[in-house]
Amino acid sequence: MSRVCIVTGKRPLTGHNVSHSNTKTKMRQLPNLKKKRFFNEETGQWVTLRVSTSALRTITKNGLAKTLAKIA
């Protein structure tokens, strides 16, 4: 499963670790993803989503249905 947030679309970033001697080695910065269950009031079912922590705040603020409608 890829490390992509369903709501915000956050993906891993690539860059370099730079040492004191200025040697560069590749690195990945992974998004802070959490697997979370949400209750969908429209369908009356539980939905499991893999979302970033910033998306959790968005869902808490706007609600699940409104957030999913905005991205779809």
Distance, first Cα to last Cα, the chain: 20
How far is the C-alpha of 58 from the C-alpha of 52, rounded, in Å?
A: 10
Q: State how far Cα 13 lies from the chain centre.
A: 13
Q: Is the pLDDT of residue 1 over 80?
A: no
pLDDT tens string 24-56: 999 999 999 999 999 999 899 999 999 999 999
Specify the pTM.
Answer: 0.81
8 CB burial (10 A radius; 0-12, 13-18, 19+): middle
Shortest CA distance to 64 belongs to which of 39, 34, 36, 32?
Answer: 39
Query: Looking at residue 43, what DSSP letter applies?
Result: T
Mean pLDDT of 6-10: 94
What domains, with CATH codes, occur in the chain? 13-71 (2.30.170.40)
